[in-house]
A and B are shown apart, each in its own frame.
Chain A
Amino acid sequence: MFSKFTHTASKSLKIIIVGCGKVGHTLTEQLSKEGNNITVIEKNPTVVGDVDAQFDIITIHGNGASYSTLQEAGVEDCDLFIAVTGSDELNLLCCTIAKQFSKCAAIARVRTPDYSKEVGYLRDKLGLAMIINPELESAREMARILYLPTALQVSTFAHGQAEMIKFKIPEGNTLDNMTIANLGKHITHNILICGVERAGEVFIPSGAFTLKADDVVYFASKREEARKFLKNIGMFTKQVRNAMIVGGGLSAYYLANELLHTGIDVHILESSFERCNELSMLLPQAVVINSDATSQEGLLGAGIKDMEAFVPLTGIDEENILLTLFAKKVSKAKVITKVNRIHFTDVISDLDLGSVVYPKLITSEAIIAYARALRASRSSEIETLYHIFDSRAEAIEFKIKESSPVVGKELKDLPLKKDLLIAFINRKGKIIIPSGSDMIEVGDSVMIVTTHTGLNEIRDILKK
């Protein structure tokens, strides 16, 4: 008599999320929107009440590491277990306990550098599906932007061989008033414009689409082609030589580490003397300055005017935004703003801050990609997923594992959905920017850009 329920259950996942802070909240919102059965375990009763009234989920007030709470949440038959509380140890403990009682895939958020070196070991020994470090991931994303300062955002696909780059077309650029078809003819056909944002609206462009100045454009290409293309259209592409980081927290450490490895000079401003001492031990090559970065004198004294990049990484969003605005005023530095709060993305994108990085979104993107892959059939699976244009569009990389209706047909014969684009095909490490006569083959990975959300597998790109 319950066939109806078990049927829907097989289509959607049973997911337990421990901790409903910002990441937990984003995950809950996105995953429940995609039709999964979600149980949230949270310690704070007020948060429990709020989340319960907001989403179609079950909430449990309690400690996610206690077995009785987990049992109440039904851990035995859960498919995916995600621990994103504020504490690394608690997250690992939750996952470990959950793994004792079920065959679920477990994901833990672990941020401390002490553990981050041992991520692989921890993951294997504890049998976790994924350990995610938002600070490290966002530091990597920021570093990628600093290597290519023209870009507002750089996301990598195909294990770093392909990139998707976001940039804004400046006034008077050659791209102004050029159709996409002409761009292919006159400049290069090795890149593909995947999405354009104009006046708050997102377009997945066709060949007849005309680019305009002030458009924010995403394009996909091979790494080296991207740089060639930007040089061709007259946009500066050299990586920065020095960078100033304000605040000496975890992400500052990860970013500085990343930058120092590629030979970029790093100055770190930190107000706590204790922390400065620690940082100077951890990062002997960096210049660690003990100064209050919220004072103009402090920043000017530390030489902000000579910097090519400026990254405020304090824990307070408002402070980061103010520092960015100040830096834009007094210097020509490339600025990146880290914003923790995710509820005001539209206000922030109106501020014209340039590159903005949301560590919480980076975390949830990775987890959502994993969850969708779990839901998909065995014929294809999701390798990477990025939300672009403030989550209004998605770029998804699918690994094609088996034959399906999508495979072996020329692309121009596939009945693709509207507002959907095949950005590139990665065939044994070779990146193909596809034309109508290309075909998808088994073993490829394919990147799709679309404004449809909730694609689980490759056959979802076809019209129903």
Chain B
Amino acid sequence: MNAMMVFYILGHVLRIEGVFMLLPALTGLIYQESNGLYFLYMALFLFFIGFLLSFKRPENTTIYLKEGCVITALSWIAMSYFGALPFYFTGEIPSLLDAIFETVSGFTTTGASILPDPEALCHATQFWRCFTHWIGGMGVLVFLLAIIPMSGGSNINIMRAESPGPSVGKLVPKMRQTAGLLYLIYFFLTALEVLFLVIGKMPLFDSICTSFATAGTGGFGVYRDSMASQTAYLQWVVTIFMILFGVNFNFYFFLLYRHFKKAFTMSEIRAYLAIIVASVTIITVNTINIFGNVLTGVRHSAFQVASIMTTTGFASHDFDMWPEPSKVILVILMFIGACAGSTGGGIKVSRFIILHKSIRKEMKSYLHPKSVSKLTMDGSPIEHDVVRSVNVYFISFMILFTASVFFVSFDNKGLITSFSAVAATINNIGPGLHLVGPTQNYAGFSDFAKIVLSFDMLAGRLELFPLLMLFNPKLYFSKPIFSRKAN
């Protein structure tokens, strides 16, 4: 393995995190908060370590998929650790483990919090907490690829490891331009949301934080009751932007380059919108007794469907009080998740499309056992490798899910809580049901359960394998440790 290159890129990642940390430091300066200083010190510290690690560019800069996976997994772990330290130092989250849980939840755009009252945080911390969503949404390594020139084409392997979706491709021939383009779209949409929120009379600071949390499909709210006490206008703005950020970014790329037909015929986008419309309809009908008014009903169900499906995790209403069918729909949406190539989590709509097509193919093969048919999506064939990896992903996901539910069940919080807590973390949503419902938080879990849930969040965001690869001993030892005796 090219360990030099792994450390080199890790160094760059830490330096970038240092740069990002200057923003909360600046926020602290603006609001005259002494806590801002911790961010400044932390930033300087990260510059220093990053500088040491990336001091010399290795001669061999080739990155294979395994290096891509290791770089991604280690970067995310290191970022979460160092990103958690300011929370701990400022004393706003007294336990280090809780701080790490909160930061992992931030970077993985989960939004599961251990804080009972986010309004108690100072501005600098508040900013950093929401900003982690924005960084994690598009991915820090994609950002790295956008700003650091790297020779060779092998750095697509980094993007493959970090970006969600069954098959990751480039938008334009050059990696750097692709990454730059993604961030440009991302930045533009975020800025647009800030504008709309400010028009709706939300304070600027709150608008920025809320937009960060929406853009990354994270869900850390700035308010104690998430979005429940906001005006209908603001709730609609957030609903629409959540849906927009859950869309495959290829869609925006096609719009940008005026391939309108291609954009609107993307089957993933169509399926995504169809699921949203169907869910909203059912939930509106199902909850008509609670809201008594169709308009309010549509608003809350649309908000909640968008929030859960894009894996954001804002709440406009305590959906834990909703009737059973509505809650089940929300749980199903947790697993479906957003589109591939968006900032959202979950298993992803495109994977379900492929699974659905494989099932249909299987049915057909029962009718005509020797029939040959190739799966296609948007007119082009899906390679067998992709189908296989989708199947394996689904199975691995379910195994990890079941195992995590088992581990969390030791806290004896009831099946609904354990089940929905794991579902809400592994799918990067945030709030679950019952004891982890939208009005509750994760503070009550044991340390062990918090570690399991943190792992689930990382595994969910990085789509399992980059993280699971770290546990493969063959990665580190190219030669067997115990050699068998000859003959």
Contact = CB atoms under 8 A, between A and B. Distances in A.
Interface in A1-33: 1-2, 4-5, 8, 14, 32-33
Given A1-B188, A5-B180, A32 B153 contact: yes
A4 B177 CA distance: 9
Nearest to A38: B173
Contacts of A33: 151
Contact of A56 (B174, B181, B188, B385): B174
Interface in B143-188: 151-157, 169-170, 172-175, 177, 180-181, 184, 188
Contacts of B180: 4-5
B154 A58 contact: no
A58 B153 contact: no
A8 B177 contact: yes
B151 to A, nearest CB: 8
A52 B383 contact: no
Given A1-B184, A5-B180, A61-B380, A53 B156 contact: yes
A54 B383 contact: no
A61 B181 CA distance: 23
A57 B173 contact: yes
A45 interface: yes
A39 interface: yes
Interface in B44-80: 65
Nearest to A29: B153
A57 B173 CA distance: 4
Contacts of B381: 61
A115 interface: no
Contacts of A273: none
B154 A53 contact: yes
Nearest to A48: B383
Contact of B153 (A8, A14, A49, A55): A55
B383 A56 contact: no
Contacts of A221: none
Secondary structure dominating the interface of B: mixed
Interface in B105-124: none
Nearest to B380: A61
A37 interface: yes
Nearest to B150: A56
Nearest to B160: A53
B188 A45 contact: no
A54 B153 contact: yes
Contact of B172 (A1, A54, A58, A62): A58
Contacts, number: 50
Interface in A289-317: none
The range of chain A's interface size is 20 to 34
Nearest to A52: B156
A61 B379 CA distance: 12
B177 A5 contact: yes
Contacts of A37: 172-174, 177
Contacts of A58: 169-170, 172-173
B184 A56 contact: no
B379 to A, nearest CB: 8
A52 to B, nearest CB: 7
A62 B256 CA distance: 24
B157 A56 contact: no
B157 A53 contact: yes
B188 A39 contact: no
Interface in A185-210: none
Of B65, B151, B157, B177, chain A has the most CB atoms within 10 Å of the CB of: B177
A7 to B, nearest CB: 11
Interface in A367-421: none
A37 B170 CA distance: 12
Given A1-B184, A5-B177, A5-B180, A56 B152 contact: yes
A32 B173 CA distance: 9
Contacts of B256: 2
Contacts of A4: 180
B383 A5 contact: no
A54 B154 contact: yes
A212 to B, nearest CB: 29
A347 B55 CA distance: 35
Nearest to A62: B380
Contacts of B172: 5, 37, 58
A331 to B, nearest CB: 44
Nearest to A55: B153
Interface string A36-69: 0111000001000100111111100110000000
Interface in B349-403: 380-381, 383, 385
Interface string A62-80: 1000000000000000000
Nearest to A56: B153
A347 B184 CA distance: 46
A32 B151 CA distance: 10
Interface of A: 1-2, 4-5, 8, 14, 32-33, 37-39, 45, 49, 52-58, 61-62
Given A5-B172, A56-B175, 8 more contacts: A1-B188, A5-B177, A38-B173, A39-B173, A53-B65, A53-B154, A55-B152, A57-B173
26 contacts: A1-B184, A1-B188, A2-B256, A4-B180, A5-B177, A8-B177, A14-B173, A32-B153, A33-B151, A37-B172, A37-B173, A37-B177, A38-B173, A39-B173, A53-B65, A53-B154, A53-B157, A54-B154, A55-B153, A56-B152, A56-B173, A56-B175, A57-B153, A58-B169, A61-B380, A61-B381
Give me the 5 closest cross-chain CB pairs, A-B, nearest first: A56-B153, A55-B153, A37-B173, A58-B173, A57-B173
